[in-house]
Structure 1
Amino acid sequence: MSVEFESRTCHIRRHRVGSLTSDIGEFLASVTYDDLPPEVLPMVRDAFTDTVAVIMVGIDQPVAEVVRKTLARPLGAAEARSCLSSERVAAPEAALLAGAIAHSLDYDDQSMSGHPSAVLVPAILAEAEFLGSDGRDVVTAYVAGYEVWCELWRRDRSYHAKGWHPTSVFGAMAAAAAGAVLRGLPADRAAAAVAIAGSYAGGLFSNFGSMMKGYHAGLAARGGLEAARLAAAGMSAGHDAIENPQGFLMAYSTQREPDLTSDSKLGKEWYLPTHKLLIKLHPTCYFLHRSFNGTVAMLAGRDVDPDEVESVEVRMGRGQVTCLVYERPQTRWEAEFSGQFGIAAAVILGKMGVPELADEVVQRPDIQAFFPKVRLVPVDEYDERDPVFSPTESVTLRFKSGEVLESGPIATIPGHASDPLTTEQLWGKFRECTAKTHTDSESRELFDLLQKVDALPSVKVLPTCTSIFQD
């Protein structure tokens, strides 16, 4: 053992009387619905509502059939409805499929450098249906999983740079935490569930721009539930698997300097009231939403000829630029992670919904010709709320005529934590997302039930969608 490694190990043992892993277990074993900050409840209801919406809009994506026919259906268990359909599968497989679909269009909510609801909601709905959990249990499990995600994420918040997808790194841990709460595991077993989930965590950044990116969320949802089930059955795991110098936090750390020693804030300071969800109005990586919206606003009322645009400069956080890797996207998957596509869509299309995120649109000659005009300029200022972002962004558009348009600082957009969607705005997205799977009345019934999810006697009362998975 090296002197440096031995010194770090001794330092940790000297200054930590308890264990972060065991502290998490104690929190999960003790948290109740009555403990939750009342102000987070509307946000959690919106998370369930929005996530079900993006599952339905993504139900016909290629990843749905690949996962469903390859993994979800063959196992034979009939524990939970698959994406609220009449098809029943094992709960972990229902979570796998719904998670993969929820994140398939990148239309799901965002926070903590990842996509918590695309992991937590599928996992919780599936396991809660199998266990017979009520709405209060469901919401408590969601908040507990969210808090564990944030407690781990805050200890070293730069993961993309090392090649990790934070959604699947922290999602497995969060889903295991939620599963432990739903099962009412005692502290030692709840700690074991999260420790086990550490070996399920992963997900490569290099898979962004493909079906695998969405599948990461499904893997995390299934892995977390399996970890909780294994812990309930007596599977052992490292008692300090998270904070050990060779454990979870160190393994995923970019600079290998994670916070291994500070006390857990779980149950003492709640993260969700300050690290709120960002709900999307566009099915792409959130990192390009502000510049897209700012450009649309800047060009409002103008009929712009894209050939007359000389250049567009977008200033945004270095972490954002790192993730927007496709300068010349050729597919809808690549366009989700292209700042160039976001600006082209703003200038040429004026909108960026599901129909615009199609291969035939991305490959249009006028769209392709615009990409070289767009330059992303990284800035090193970062938002304290999420350091991957810069506090603001700006867009400078130059015409060949010499005219220059400046967006000014763009700090927030509708759906951002500081500008949450109204119920009617959320309903508008929900109805659009469920248009192919539900009638107007069916959609409204489902929406209204999800908006009071914590009052449900069981998730089994959520209506079955009979229009999907009929083969």
Structure 2
Amino acid sequence: MSASIAEREPALAVPDLPAMARLARFVVRGEVAGPVLAKAVPIVLDTLAVTLAGGAEPGHARLAASLEPHPGGVPSFWSGARYRADDAALLIGMASHILDYDDVSMQAVCHPSAPILSALLAAADREATSGRDLLDAFVVGTEVLIRTGQAMGFRHYALGFHATATLGTLGATAAVARLRRLDEATTAHALAIAASYASGLRVNFGSLVKSLHVGMAAANGVRAVRLAEAGLEGAAEALDGEGYLNAFSGGETRHWPASLELGRPFALAEPGFEQKRYPCCYLLHKMIEAALGLRRETGLDLDSVAAMRVDVPQGGTKPLIHPYPKSGLNALFSAPYAIAASLADGRIDLASFTDEAVMRPALQARLRDVTVVEADAASRHGSDVGLAPVTVTLTPVSGASVSRTVVLLPGSDKDPITPDQLRAKWADCLKRAAPRADQAGIDALFDEGRGLPAAARIGDWLGAVIRTVEEGRA
């Protein structure tokens, strides 16, 4: 077992270590300071909110029906059933991502929080785990996830992998290993197992399998730690050389870049994650902001424009594989729909992505009037895509064309979701999960969650969340 949190060393620069030893050392020894833990609190609240809402979706119920309850196991947030830890992680993980409302890190083109928190909620002994312990493991897991993605660059995503799933498996393993205070050798074996568990393809975007990927990553993180604790050993070279980095980068990355350090600073703190204002693929958010801004400024709506154009960076359409969606799930990855719906409705929210909303004849008829153009310059890193401007140009039925360019990442530290917006999102999500829940009770849970760093055990708060959802379900 490793040292306690209070005894751990600060994250150290280790430019000469192989990737496996580097990650294992960081997971065991890296120190997470109080200010970083504090920054994790609203992110955990945001992720739990969208997870609770996602559990009300029919697709999530189908997954639950396929699993066998396990007496004495992890309690479900949505029913009285209990499940084995890995099955609980699968359920929580799918719920966390099914609405595509969870946060993003454009440094690795992924959703960092969902697989990590899902694994921790399933693996933690809720009566023995403090709020600080949970946050500490969460920060470490997301750091491993994001920095591994940075090590491989945008090539990993461009090859067709769903980075949240592939990177999330390593991150979830790191988080659970940290929570369980494994030593470096056992942590390394768990990461080696996770390297072979990692999977997920972008071609499944627009289907339930995309959100299932997050559950798979969380469940496999729990399994990898359990197997390593049981004595299963993996290769020390599972990440370097011919291993994970090489395989998932198409041969571009064989070793961890010496300049890429873990926890110096933590990605969660600088530049931070992008928390979503809109429940859809994050690469739609800048174009939504631009389209809604033009509607407000000019009064133009869908009926008053003849054509719409969106200019995006190269790679900016990689996940947008459903230009002409036929379902709400498809529309989460549709640039034409995002533009048309923004102009038609003057808003984008959870109601925008029902099957009925997507299949409105007036919108379907206009999807081919939206042109999406990628820039010529290549994007080598996820941050290249994230930081590049997105421009929406509207050509009215009469009059001159108008354009609006959005540069800042919506929901990032440069354009943050406000505390009031986060509280409202929490309430909206919990009302979706538990329509009969009392508003005062929902607000009280949010306020209690903000005190997570000082909580002696997470079970009290999570138990109250479970009771609120159970009592408030229709």
Matched, 1:212 2:209: yes
| Structure 2 CA distance for aligned equivalents of residues 413 and 78 of structure 1 | 44
Shift of 1:75: 4.8
SS for the counterpart of 1:321 is: coil
Shift of 1:385: 6.6
Partner of 1:465: 466
Partner of 1:41: 37
SS for the counterpart of 2:296 is: coil
Shift of 1:132: 2.2
Shift of 1:189: 0.5
Match of 1:79 among 73, 90, 95: 73
| Structure 2 CA distance for aligned equivalents of residues 37 and 453 of structure 1 | 15
Partner of 1:10: none
Partner of 2:152: 156
Partner of 1:299: 295
Equivalent residues of 2:280, 2:332 under 8 A apart: yes
Partner of 1:371: 367
| Structure 2 CA distance for aligned equivalents of residues 271 and 125 of structure 1 | 21
Partner of 2:89: 95
SS for the counterpart of 1:278 is: coil
Equivalent residues of 2:55, 2:95 under 8 A apart: yes
| CA shift digits 1:351-370 (9 cap, x unpaired) | 11111111111010111111
**One-letter amino acid of the counterpart of residue 260, structure 1:** H
Q: 1:187-198 residue pairs with structure 2 within 5 A?
A: 187-198=184-195
**One-letter amino acid of the counterpart of residue 392, structure 1:** P
Equivalent residues of 1:317, 1:390 under 8 A apart: no
| Structure 2 CA distance for aligned equivalents of residues 65 and 261 of structure 1 | 40
| Structure 2 CA distance for aligned equivalents of residues 109 and 234 of structure 1 | 35
| Structure 2 CA distance for aligned equivalents of residues 269 and 301 of structure 1 | 39
| Structure 1 CA distance for aligned equivalents of residues 71 and 163 of structure 2 | 30
Aligned CA distance change for structure 1 residues 271 and 303 (closer, same or farther; 3 Å): closer
**One-letter amino acid of the counterpart of residue 42, structure 2:** D
Q: 1:171-190 residue pairs with structure 2 within 5 A?
A: 171-190=168-187
| Structure 1 CA distance for aligned equivalents of residues 424 and 402 of structure 2 | 31
SS for the counterpart of 1:388 is: helix
Q: 1:47-86 residue pairs with structure 2 within 5 A?
A: 47-71=43-67, 74-83=68-77, 86=80
Aligned CA distance change for structure 1 residues 170 and 410 (closer, same or farther; 3 Å): same
| CA shift digits 1:17-38 (9 cap, x unpaired) | 642101211111123xxx3244
**One-letter amino acid of the counterpart of residue 206, structure 1:** V
Equivalent residues of 1:383, 1:389 under 8 A apart: no
| Structure 1 CA distance for aligned equivalents of residues 451 and 27 of structure 2 | 23
**One-letter amino acid of the counterpart of residue 284, structure 1:** C
Aligned CA distance change for structure 1 residues 381 and 399 (closer, same or farther; 3 Å): farther
Which stretch shifts more, 380-389 or 339-348? 380-389
Equivalent residues of 1:316, 1:389 under 8 A apart: no
Which stretch shifts more, 444-453 or 394-403? 444-453
Shift of 1:85: 5.1
Equivalent residues of 2:39, 2:269 under 8 A apart: no
Partner of 1:224: 221
Query: Which runs of 5 or more residues in structure 2 are unaligned?
Result: 1-14
Shift of 1:339: 0.6
Partner of 2:111: 115
Matched, 1:442 2:441: yes
Which stretch shifts more, 153-162 or 295-304? 295-304
SS for the counterpart of 2:88 is: helix
Matched, 1:422 2:418: yes
Q: How many residues align?
A: 449
Match of 1:258 among 232, 244, 253: 253
Partner of 1:5: none
Shift of 1:374: 0.7
RMSD (Å), alpha carbons: 2.3
| Structure 1 CA distance for aligned equivalents of residues 78 and 451 of structure 2 | 17
SS for the counterpart of 2:25 is: helix
| Structure 2 CA distance for aligned equivalents of residues 317 and 208 of structure 1 | 20
Shift of 1:412: 2.1
Partner of 2:338: 342
| Structure 1 CA distance for aligned equivalents of residues 276 and 306 of structure 2 | 30
TM-score by length of 1: 0.90
| Structure 1 CA distance for aligned equivalents of residues 202 and 158 of structure 2 | 9
| CA shift digits 1:160-202 (9 cap, x unpaired) | 3211000000001000000101110000011111111111111
SS for the counterpart of 1:324 is: coil
SS for the counterpart of 2:37 is: helix
| Structure 1 CA distance for aligned equivalents of residues 230 and 194 of structure 2 | 14
**One-letter amino acid of the counterpart of residue 451, structure 2:** K
SS for the counterpart of 2:310 is: strand
**One-letter amino acid of the counterpart of residue 200, structure 1:** Y
| Structure 1 CA distance for aligned equivalents of residues 265 and 403 of structure 2 | 40
**One-letter amino acid of the counterpart of residue 108, structure 1:** D
Shift of 1:267: 4.3
Q: 1:276-355 residue pairs with structure 2 within 5 A?
A: 276-300=272-296, 303-304=299-300, 306-355=302-351
| Structure 1 CA distance for aligned equivalents of residues 382 and 242 of structure 2 | 28
Equivalent residues of 1:157, 1:387 under 8 A apart: no
| Structure 1 CA distance for aligned equivalents of residues 335 and 344 of structure 2 | 14
| CA shift digits 1:219-261 (9 cap, x unpaired) | 1011001111111111100112111x2211111114x111515
| Structure 2 CA distance for aligned equivalents of residues 417 and 215 of structure 1 | 29
Equivalent residues of 1:22, 1:240 under 8 A apart: no
SS for the counterpart of 2:386 is: coil
| Structure 2 CA distance for aligned equivalents of residues 48 and 272 of structure 1 | 11
Identity among equivalent positions (%) equals 31
Partner of 1:389: 386
**One-letter amino acid of the counterpart of residue 294, structure 2:** M
Aligned CA distance change for structure 1 residues 381 and 351 (closer, same or farther; 3 Å): farther
